[in-house]
Protein backbone atom coordinates (compact mmCIF):
# COMPACT_ATOMS: atom_id res chain seq x y z
CA UNK A 1 0.00 0.00 0.00
CA UNK A 2 1.09 3.59 -0.57
CA UNK A 3 3.23 5.28 2.05
CA UNK A 4 2.98 8.75 3.50
CA UNK A 5 2.86 11.39 0.78
CA UNK A 6 4.04 14.93 1.36
CA UNK A 7 3.70 17.79 -1.08
CA UNK A 8 5.45 19.75 -2.27
CA UNK A 9 8.93 18.18 -1.95
CA UNK A 10 10.74 21.50 -2.24
CA UNK A 11 9.68 25.05 -1.58
CA UNK A 12 11.44 28.42 -1.62
CA UNK A 13 9.74 31.33 0.09
CA UNK A 14 10.64 34.88 1.04
CA UNK A 15 10.77 36.18 4.61
CA UNK A 16 7.36 37.38 5.76
CA UNK A 17 5.39 35.10 3.44
CA UNK A 18 3.27 32.21 4.59
CA UNK A 19 3.35 28.60 3.46
CA UNK A 20 1.08 25.54 3.55
CA UNK A 21 2.41 22.00 3.47
CA UNK A 22 0.31 18.92 2.83
CA UNK A 23 0.46 15.35 4.11
CA UNK A 24 -1.58 12.30 3.11
CA UNK A 25 -1.14 9.47 5.65
CA UNK A 26 -1.00 5.76 4.95
CA UNK A 27 -4.46 4.46 4.09
CA UNK A 28 -6.26 3.53 7.30
CA UNK A 29 -3.96 5.57 9.53
CA UNK A 30 -5.83 8.20 11.48
CA UNK A 31 -3.08 9.97 13.41
CA UNK A 32 -0.74 12.48 11.79
CA UNK A 33 2.23 14.16 13.47
CA UNK A 34 4.52 16.87 12.16
CA UNK A 35 8.22 17.34 12.88
CA UNK A 36 10.80 19.95 11.98
CA UNK A 37 14.32 18.74 11.20
CA UNK A 38 17.31 21.09 11.17
CA UNK A 39 21.05 20.37 11.37
CA UNK A 40 21.36 22.20 14.67
CA UNK A 41 18.26 21.00 16.52
CA UNK A 42 17.59 17.64 14.91
CA UNK A 43 14.01 16.40 14.78
CA UNK A 44 11.58 18.36 16.90
CA UNK A 45 7.90 17.61 17.42
CA UNK A 46 5.45 20.23 16.15
CA UNK A 47 1.98 18.75 16.72
CA UNK A 48 -0.21 15.67 16.45
CA UNK A 49 -3.68 15.41 14.98
CA UNK A 50 -6.27 12.69 15.40
CA UNK A 51 -9.92 12.78 14.35
CA UNK A 52 -9.49 16.34 13.08
CA UNK A 53 -8.39 17.54 16.55
CA UNK A 54 -4.97 18.65 17.72
CA UNK A 55 -4.03 16.21 20.47
CA UNK A 56 -0.51 17.27 21.31
CA UNK A 57 1.63 20.32 20.64
CA UNK A 58 5.35 20.96 20.74
CA UNK A 59 7.20 24.07 21.82
CA UNK A 60 6.83 26.18 18.69
CA UNK A 61 5.42 29.72 18.28
CA UNK A 62 1.83 30.31 17.21
CA UNK A 63 3.01 31.04 13.65
CA UNK A 64 3.03 27.27 13.23
CA UNK A 65 -0.42 25.79 12.92
CA UNK A 66 -2.09 22.79 11.40
CA UNK A 67 -5.31 21.00 10.75
CA UNK A 68 -6.62 17.61 9.82
CA UNK A 69 -9.48 16.78 7.49
CA UNK A 70 -12.12 14.09 7.76
CA UNK A 71 -10.13 11.84 5.38
CA UNK A 72 -7.13 12.11 7.79
CA UNK A 73 -5.13 14.26 5.39
CA UNK A 74 -3.32 17.05 7.19
CA UNK A 75 -1.90 20.45 6.42
CA UNK A 76 0.49 22.62 8.35
CA UNK A 77 0.82 26.33 7.90
CA UNK A 78 3.64 28.67 8.81
CA UNK A 79 2.89 32.37 8.73
CA UNK A 80 5.29 35.32 8.67
CA UNK A 81 8.20 33.15 7.65
CA UNK A 82 11.62 33.72 9.19
CA UNK A 83 15.02 32.63 7.91
CA UNK A 84 15.23 30.19 10.82
CA UNK A 85 12.17 28.35 9.56
CA UNK A 86 14.27 26.84 6.78
CA UNK A 87 14.16 23.12 7.49
CA UNK A 88 12.95 19.72 6.40
CA UNK A 89 9.35 19.33 7.54
CA UNK A 90 8.37 15.73 8.09
CA UNK A 91 4.95 14.23 8.46
CA UNK A 92 4.44 10.89 10.20
CA UNK A 93 1.33 8.74 10.25
CA UNK A 94 0.26 6.21 12.86
CA UNK A 95 -2.62 3.80 13.01
CA UNK A 96 -4.29 5.31 16.06
CA UNK A 97 -3.86 8.20 18.47
CA UNK A 98 -0.83 7.84 20.68
CA UNK A 99 0.62 5.01 18.60
CA UNK A 100 4.28 5.87 18.62
CA UNK A 101 5.18 3.51 15.78
CA UNK A 102 5.37 6.27 13.21
CA UNK A 103 5.90 6.04 9.47
CA UNK A 104 7.41 9.10 7.87
CA UNK A 105 6.97 10.75 4.51
CA UNK A 106 9.89 12.04 2.42
CA UNK A 107 9.45 15.51 3.81
CA UNK A 108 9.14 19.00 2.40
CA UNK A 109 12.36 20.96 2.16
CA UNK A 110 11.49 24.60 2.92
CA UNK A 111 14.04 27.31 2.21
CA UNK A 112 13.31 30.85 3.38
CA UNK A 113 15.36 33.58 1.69
CA UNK B 1 18.05 20.15 27.06
CA UNK B 2 18.53 17.02 24.97
CA UNK B 3 16.51 14.25 26.61
CA UNK B 4 18.07 11.57 24.44
CA UNK B 5 21.81 11.58 23.94
CA UNK B 6 23.20 9.57 21.06
CA UNK B 7 26.82 8.57 20.71
CA UNK B 8 28.89 8.69 18.73
CA UNK B 9 27.65 11.54 16.55
CA UNK B 10 29.85 10.46 13.63
CA UNK B 11 31.29 7.08 12.76
CA UNK B 12 33.40 6.17 9.74
CA UNK B 13 34.40 2.52 9.42
CA UNK B 14 35.53 -0.04 6.86
CA UNK B 15 33.26 -2.66 5.38
CA UNK B 16 33.18 -5.76 7.57
CA UNK B 17 33.74 -3.99 10.89
CA UNK B 18 31.30 -4.14 13.81
CA UNK B 19 29.89 -1.06 15.53
CA UNK B 20 27.60 -0.03 18.36
CA UNK B 21 25.52 3.12 18.65
CA UNK B 22 24.22 4.22 22.03
CA UNK B 23 21.12 6.13 23.02
CA UNK B 24 21.01 7.30 26.63
CA UNK B 25 18.66 9.27 28.84
CA UNK B 26 17.95 10.00 32.48
CA UNK B 27 14.24 9.63 31.70
CA UNK B 28 12.16 6.49 31.41
CA UNK B 29 10.49 5.80 28.09
CA UNK B 30 7.45 3.65 27.45
CA UNK B 31 8.95 2.57 24.13
CA UNK B 32 11.89 3.37 21.94
CA UNK B 33 12.20 3.31 18.17
CA UNK B 34 15.22 3.22 15.90
CA UNK B 35 15.11 4.84 12.48
CA UNK B 36 17.50 5.11 9.54
CA UNK B 37 17.44 8.19 7.34
CA UNK B 38 19.15 8.75 4.01
CA UNK B 39 19.89 12.24 2.60
CA UNK B 40 16.78 13.98 1.29
CA UNK B 41 14.46 11.26 2.59
CA UNK B 42 12.31 10.75 5.67
CA UNK B 43 13.33 8.41 8.51
CA UNK B 44 12.49 4.74 7.99
CA UNK B 45 11.39 2.76 11.03
CA UNK B 46 13.72 -0.15 11.80
CA UNK B 47 12.40 -1.46 15.11
CA UNK B 48 10.33 -0.67 18.20
CA UNK B 49 11.33 -1.96 21.64
CA UNK B 50 8.89 -1.84 24.51
CA UNK B 51 9.97 -4.13 27.35
CA UNK B 52 12.99 -3.44 29.57
CA UNK B 53 15.81 -5.79 28.62
CA UNK B 54 14.22 -6.60 25.28
CA UNK B 55 16.52 -7.64 22.44
CA UNK B 56 15.42 -7.62 18.80
CA UNK B 57 17.37 -8.71 15.76
CA UNK B 58 16.96 -7.54 12.20
CA UNK B 59 19.45 -9.45 10.02
CA UNK B 60 22.86 -8.00 11.01
CA UNK B 61 21.33 -5.39 13.34
CA UNK B 62 20.73 -6.08 17.03
CA UNK B 63 18.71 -3.68 19.16
CA UNK B 64 18.56 -3.70 22.93
CA UNK B 65 16.38 -1.77 25.38
CA UNK B 66 17.92 -1.18 28.79
CA UNK B 67 16.42 -2.90 31.83
CA UNK B 68 15.30 0.44 33.26
CA UNK B 69 13.93 1.60 29.86
CA UNK B 70 16.23 4.64 29.92
CA UNK B 71 18.72 3.60 27.27
CA UNK B 72 19.12 1.55 24.14
CA UNK B 73 21.82 0.33 21.81
CA UNK B 74 22.10 -0.64 18.17
CA UNK B 75 24.82 -3.09 17.18
CA UNK B 76 25.68 -3.76 13.54
CA UNK B 77 27.73 -6.82 12.67
CA UNK B 78 29.91 -6.89 9.56
CA UNK B 79 28.83 -3.45 8.33
CA UNK B 80 28.26 -2.95 4.63
CA UNK B 81 28.28 0.23 2.50
CA UNK B 82 24.49 -0.07 2.24
CA UNK B 83 24.30 0.54 6.01
CA UNK B 84 25.51 4.11 5.49
CA UNK B 85 23.04 6.70 6.76
CA UNK B 86 21.80 8.66 9.74
CA UNK B 87 20.61 6.46 12.61
CA UNK B 88 18.09 8.03 14.96
CA UNK B 89 16.68 6.81 18.23
CA UNK B 90 13.32 8.15 19.37
CA UNK B 91 11.59 7.67 22.68
CA UNK B 92 7.95 7.86 23.64
CA UNK B 93 6.79 8.93 27.13
CA UNK B 94 3.05 8.27 27.19
CA UNK B 95 2.41 11.75 25.80
CA UNK B 96 0.27 10.75 22.87
CA UNK B 97 2.14 10.27 19.63
CA UNK B 98 4.98 12.63 20.48
CA UNK B 99 8.42 11.17 19.87
CA UNK B 100 11.59 12.64 21.37
CA UNK B 101 14.51 12.17 19.01
CA UNK B 102 18.21 11.89 19.68
CA UNK B 103 20.56 14.00 17.59
CA UNK B 104 21.46 11.04 15.41
CA UNK B 105 24.57 9.08 14.49
CA UNK B 106 25.98 9.67 11.01
CA UNK B 107 27.43 6.33 9.87
CA UNK B 108 29.69 5.97 6.86
CA UNK B 109 30.81 2.50 5.79
CA UNK B 110 33.60 2.52 3.24
CA UNK B 111 34.14 -0.39 0.83
What phi and psi values does residue A95 have, to the nearest 5 degrees? -60, -50
Q: Look at residue A107 in the predicted model and tell me its pLDDT.
A: 97
Rounded Cα distance between A86 and A9, Å, is: 13
The pLDDT tens digits of the residues spanning A92-105 come to 999 877 777 899 99
In chain A, residues 83-112 whose CB comes closer than 8 Å to chain B? 90, 92, 94, 97-107, 109
Instruction: Enumerate residue ranges in chain B where pLDDT < 50.
Output: none
Q: CB-based contact (8 Å) between B58 and chain A?
A: no
Query: Hey, CA dihedral for B1, B42, A61, A74, is it positive or negative?
Result: negative
* Residue pairs spanning A and B at CB distance below 8 A: 74
**Residue A10 distance to chain B (closest CA, Å):** 10
Nearest CA-CA partner of A27 in A63, A89, A60, A71: A71
How many helices (DSSP H) and strands (DSSP E) are in chain A? 0, 11
pLDDT tens per residue across span A44-92: 999 999 999 999 899 999 999 999 999 999 999 999 999 999 999 999 9
* A90/B102 touch (CB, cutoff 8 Å), yes or no: no
CB contact under 8 A, A45 and B42: no
How close does chain A come to B48, measured CA to CA in Å?
A: 7
> What pLDDT sits at residue A106?
96
Contacts of B48 in chain A (CB under 8 A): 100-101
The minimal CB distance from B48 to the residues A48, A98, A101 is found for A101
Amino acid sequence: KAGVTQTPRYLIKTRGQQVTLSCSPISGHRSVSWYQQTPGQGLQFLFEYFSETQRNKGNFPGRFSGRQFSNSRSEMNVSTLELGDSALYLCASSLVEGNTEAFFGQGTRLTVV
Amino acid sequence: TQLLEQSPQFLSIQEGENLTVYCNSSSVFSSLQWYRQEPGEGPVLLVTVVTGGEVKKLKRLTFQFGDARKDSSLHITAAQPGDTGLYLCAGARNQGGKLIFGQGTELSVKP
